[in-house]
Amino acid sequence: MRRIAAILPMLLSLLPLLPGAARTQDLAGHGGPVRALAVLEAAPGAPPVLASAGFDHAIILWDPLGGRALEVRRWHGGAVNALLALPGGGLASAGEDGRIAFWPATGAQDAPAGVLEGHTAPVAGLALAGPDLLASAGWDATVRLWRAGAAVAVLEGHAGPVNAVTALSRPLAAPPAGPASDAPARVASAGHDGTLRLWEPGGGGWEGRVLLESGTPQIALLALPDGVLAAAGADGAVRLIAPDGSVRVLDAGTRPVVALAAAPDGGLLAAAGLGGNVTLWSLPEARLRHTLQGPGQPFWSIAFHPDGRSLWTGGQDRRVRRWEVATGAPLGPLAAGGAETEAGPAAAAAAAEPHGARVWRACAACHALSAAPGPPMAGPHLHGLFGRRMGALADYPYSPRLARGDITWTPETVADLFTRGPDVVVPGTRMPVQTVGEPADLAALLRFLELATR
């Protein structure tokens, strides 16, 4: 679903390695919302390495327990939507630029070791479908299978963007033919069209069928170790599809669920969403164990620690946070990382217009109010916004649509942007779709911006 899975691809300038405080569980370094997480395979006895990626084009490798960034990789020409840990400690990434990149386990890398090209729209999901088979989900309505650096199959059937893909080691709706390792992989995909589709090898190629029609866009998909398929989407429900085809629905709330993760032993399922919380379910009984309450901003990604005792989340506030599974408690502060009050005019504006400052928090993950040097951000700074033409900052790489500069930002044009939405006002923009529905909220935001961006 484009409105829900919309991503902000803005070129990241040089992002410094952040030393961080020892043993911190709150990792700050991204210049935009954190869209994907992956725990890389580590040598026996070695601490885990966590990879995060975001709307700011960056992939950051972390020593999460030590609280420091090990490496920053800047290569994708847009937001990085998906990360996949590879055997041996490697990493695959995919993004808004439609490309899939492969990164080795060690050594600072300015460019990937290999690149797959073929999707004609953003790539939203990656999965290993076998020892030498990679599956990718694209907004070009296709699932693609890759081997030895080339596409071996293009699977078509979804009526719109494909948001997620996963691999199952046994067929659904049929008894397993033998041990999971003996059965060929099956690939499942989830789409904006509300369907889950199952793709199976046969007849000299891959054959697809509709596994489930949910009626609402499906965003996240995950194969569990026992052969169950977990899917979630715009209606806030998590659906568990058993090998016999039966479906069980978990009520994770009313806000869209955009990320799923399972503990290594398959005994826990985590569902993260735009409502700003994570529900944690015990399996197979599907009992709600905890609800992890965040700092009030959407979560976009989630990953378990290899020992299953903690998990990490990435969110709108640009931070990666660690949580204790046993209690559901955060292992660090929950201050909203994307809403810090800036100095100067912004601080005075927040004091004069606190309502508008609160509304501004949804924008603060990607934009700075000041032109002063600071942490790299996914979007351009807003200093001097009113009276400035769209796309006017010389040192910022705007999307082609915004670079046309045919709008001058005034209170009226900014109000129009947040009333009708960026996708309507400037079709073709790569801004995330955000609207302000309450007139009082919009008026307060405009008053705050007029004061804070002078």
What is the model's pLDDT at position 376?
Answer: 57
Q: Please list the residues that pair with 229 across neighbouring strands.
A: 223, 241
Instruction: Convert the pLDDT of each residue in 286-301 to its tens digit.
Output: 999 999 988 888 899 9
Separation of alpha carbons 77 and 225, rounded Å: 35
Residues facing residue 360 across a β-bridge: none
pLDDT in the model for residue 142: 97
Residue pLDDT, tens place only, 66-82 = 777 888 888 898 889 99
User: N- to C-terminal Cα distance for the chain?
Assistant: 36
Q: Are residues 142 and 84 in the same domain?
A: yes
Work out the angle between the directed axes of helices 354-364 and 439-452 (0-180°, nearest 10): 90
Read off the pLDDT band of 432 (50, 70, 90): low
Residue that wins the pLDDT comparison between 154 and 18: 154
Q: Count CB-CB contacts under 10 A for residue 347.
A: 14
Q: How much of the chain exceeds pLDDT 90, in percent?
A: 50
> Given this model, what pLDDT does residue 92 score?
96
Least trusted range by pLDDT, from 148-157, 178-187, 251-260? 178-187
Assess whether pLDDT exceeds 50 at residue 46. Answer: yes
Residues 329 and 354 reside in one and the same domain: no
Q: Does 247 lie in the same domain as 124?
A: yes
| DSSP annotation of 170 | S
The C-alpha atoms of residue 413 and residue 424 are separated, in whole angstroms, by: 13
What is the phi-psi region of residue 296: left when phi exceeds 0, alpha when psi lies from -120 to 50, beta otherwise? left
Average pLDDT over residues 5-26: 35
205-209, 342-346, 383-387, 391-395: segment of lowest average pLDDT: 342-346
C-alpha to C-alpha distance for 134 and 411, rounded to whole angstroms: 48
One-letter amino acid for residue 163 of the chain: N
* 254 lies in the same domain as 191: yes
Looking at the structure, tell me whether residues 323 and 293 fall in a common domain: yes
Residues 184-209 have a mean pLDDT of 89
Verify that 32 and 110 share a domain, yes or no.
yes
Residue 327 has pLDDT above 70, yes or no: yes
Question: Do 349 and 220 belong together in one domain?
Answer: no
Q: What does the pLDDT read at residue 363?
A: 77
Task: Provide the mean pLDDT of the chain.
Answer: 83
Q: Are residues 129 and 202 in the same domain?
A: yes
pLDDT band at 429 (very low <50, low <70, confident <90, very high): low
pLDDT band at 444 (very low <50, low <70, confident <90, very high): very high
Q: Write the CATH number for 436.
A: 1.10.760.10
- In angstroms, how far is CA 345 from the centroid of its own chain? 32
DSSP 3-state of 315: strand
Instruction: Report the SS3 class of residue 15.
Output: coil
Q: Is 87 helix (H, G, I), strand (E, B) or coil?
A: helix
Q: Which domain holds residue 388?
A: 340-452
pLDDT at position 140: 96
Residue 13, pLDDT above cutoff 50: no
Contact yes or no for 261/222 (Cβ under 8 A): yes
pLDDT > 70: percent of the chain: 84
**pLDDT score, position 59:** 92
- Residue, of 30 and 263, whose pLDDT is higher: 263
User: What would the mean pLDDT of 115-126 be, rounded to a whole number?
Assistant: 96
Cβ contacts of 6 within 8 Å, gap of 6 or more = 423, 431, 432, 433
What pLDDT is recorded for position 131? 81
pLDDT at 181 over 60: no
From CA 40, how far away is CA 91, in angstroms rounded? 7
Total count of domains within the chain: 2
- Which 3 state secondary structure label does DSSP give 138? strand
pLDDT per position as a tens digit, 376-424: 566 788 999 999 999 898 877 777 778 888 999 999 999 999 888 877 8
Cβ neighbours of residue 375 closer than 8 Å, sequence gap 6 or more: 29, 31
Give the residue from 337, 365, 395 where a domain finishes.
337
pLDDT at 341 over 70: no
Q: Are residues 271 and 315 in the same domain?
A: yes
Final residue belonging to a domain, choices 314, 337, 360: 337
User: Of the candidates 310, 337, 364, which is a domain's last residue?
Assistant: 337
**Residue 264 scores a pLDDT above 70:** yes
* Residues 309 and 354 placed together within one structural domain of the fold: no
Task: Identify the pLDDT of residue 337.
Answer: 41
What's the pLDDT score for residue 433? 57
Give the domain CATH number at 39.
2.130.10.10
Non-local CB neighbours of 32 within 8 Å, separated by 6+ positions: 8, 10, 54, 55, 56, 79, 318, 365, 366, 377, 378, 379
- Single out the residue of 259, 217, 222 nearest to residue 241, CA to CA: 222
Same domain, 444 and 306: no
For 139-251, strand residue ranges (E) read 142-147, 150-156, 162-168, 186-191, 195-202, 205-213, 218-223, 229-233, 237-241, 247-251
Q: Looking at residue 107, what is its pLDDT?
A: 66
- For residue 362, the SS3 value is helix
Q: Are residues 307 and 287 in the same domain?
A: yes
